[in-house]
Structure 1
Amino acid sequence: MKKTILGFIALIITTGQIIAQDSCSKFYPLTEGSSFEYTSYNKKGKEDGVINYTISEVRSEGAATAATFDMKYTDKKGKEVFATDYSFTCENGLVKIDYESLFPSQMMQQYSEMGLEMDISGTDIELPNDLEVGQELSDANVSMAMNMSGIKMNVSVDQTDRKVEKKETITTPAGSFECYLLTENSTAKTMGATIETKSKLWLAEGIGMIKQETYKSNGNLMSSTELTKFTK
């Protein structure tokens, strides 16, 4: 279970930073019906799975605007691994993503039926509109306290040293895009194990995440994800 939880948190950290723009956010979409396809690859560049998103709802919540994403992840054989939805809010040009909403309800229900109690907390990921080269972004984290029949396990992931490194053009099967390159460090801890990774994230105005690469602490590539299709 430990490996499953850590692997899933690694995935939601990626998927929680994905997509486009409207009048509130340059990097996240608020247009119902927009869809995006991302293909993930292993360290050898072989396809590992596909993530599909559709924006199913846009609504007002007081002074903020909120959007709901329907997300489906399929493995390299085309088998659906899970499907879920999650929301984010945008207010005054600042996007915030609620980590708890990223966890698939199917997975949460399955663990609940197994007798697992889970408490999720954290600091939302924030992405402002006014990105500039050299800018430092706020840290983020997510923590889970789990209890099954008296056996307790805590899992935490910290995202630190988030920076805007530079602007450059990135090409994927979906096209060529002028992007901001964001870098960060992640530290995952559970049951005495610590996993440290570094990541690069390329964001384009009007689209959002174009590509992401994750590296071990020694600099070796672990995985990558890139935009392969989108409709707006």
Structure 2
Amino acid sequence: MSRCFVLPVVLMMLVAPLEAKSQAFSVEDGEGAEQSFQTLNVDGWISELSTFRIIHKSNAAGKSTLDILQIRQSRDNKSSEMALDTIMLKQIYSADKIISLKENFVDDPLIKNKLKEQGLEVKFTATGDDISIPSQPIVGAKLPDEVFSVNFEIEGVAASIDVTSSDRQILKKEKIKVPAGEFDTYLMEGNSLAKVSILFIKQTEKLFQKQWIVPGRGVVKSESYNKRGKKESITEMISYKN
């Protein structure tokens, strides 16, 4: 099969890691604090296990910045071996937002490795919005749309993945139980649309997402649904250590 047709398939496989980056640290957590998350496919098999550890914390201009090491095991299907990789992430906490920098997504080794499996050398840049959630959610609040793009140069061929988060709204307060314990959360729902473009080929993937946010911390549980409304995966915090 021509690479022109293989590449969009490979790039579409990268959408999930671009859309799923959950941690639930707070500004009170110190260096060495850890959290672990598990992602289950709808069929019950584990597609990802990640441990996050704060390795550096700084405060300036009313904001706290956490440098976070992610140790991740992941696979594409039930019969695959888990692949191990590490990622450095940066999280910023302001008075009203918890922000994941768009550069976190560009540095993801899963993206680079999947393209290298095709024998491709790739250059990346990120543009657009950083990804944020409210640090103090309010029931009924509607959040602004966010758009970010990862632009690729694949052996001289330009390609891109554009991800738009839209129609996000805080629906209600809800006490939930996950493997790590019970939390008082706010349920946020919204849509995520990913567009992959390379040469004359364009593909899209639309997801509906539910996220349970702990005020001042972040997402401790999330669910993803495909465009037909079928649940595809669930991610939950399974442990934490301050």
**TM-score interval for Structure 1 and Structure 2 normalised by the shorter chain:** 0.7 to 0.9
Map 1:58-137 → 2, pairs under 5 A: 58-75=57-74, 79-104=82-107, 106=109, 114-137=120-143
Cα shift readout 1:32-72 (whole Å, capped 9, x = no counterpart): 11111111111122222211101111013444321111001
Letter of the 2:159 counterpart: M
Letter of the 2:65 counterpart: A
Q: 1:46 to 1:106 in 2, by over 3 A?
A: closer
Match of residue 214 from structure 2 = 204
Q: How many equivalent pairs are there?
A: 225
Contact 1:125 1:139 in 2 (8 A): no
Candidates 210, 220, 226, aligned match of 1:216: 226
Match of residue 189 from structure 2 = 183
Residue ranges of structure 2 left out of the alignment (5+ in a row):
1-6
Among the aligned pairs, what percent are the same residue? 20
Map 1:144-183 → 2, pairs under 5 A: 144-183=150-189
Match of residue 226 from structure 1 = 236
Cα shift readout 1:72-128 (whole Å, capped 9, x = no counterpart): 111367734321111022233432221112333645776699432322112012223
SS of 1:101's partner is helix
Cα shift readout 1:195-222 (whole Å, capped 9, x = no counterpart): 1110000112365322110001111011
Q: 1:3 to 1:100 in 2, by over 3 A?
A: farther
| Structure 1 length-normalised TM | 0.85
SS of 2:38's partner is strand
Letter of the 2:215 counterpart: E
Q: 1:131 to 1:205 in 2, by over 3 A?
A: closer
Residue ranges of structure 1 left out of the alignment (5+ in a row):
23-28
Matched, 1:19 2:24: yes
Q: 1:63 to 1:133 in 2, by over 3 A?
A: closer
Letter of the 2:204 counterpart: T
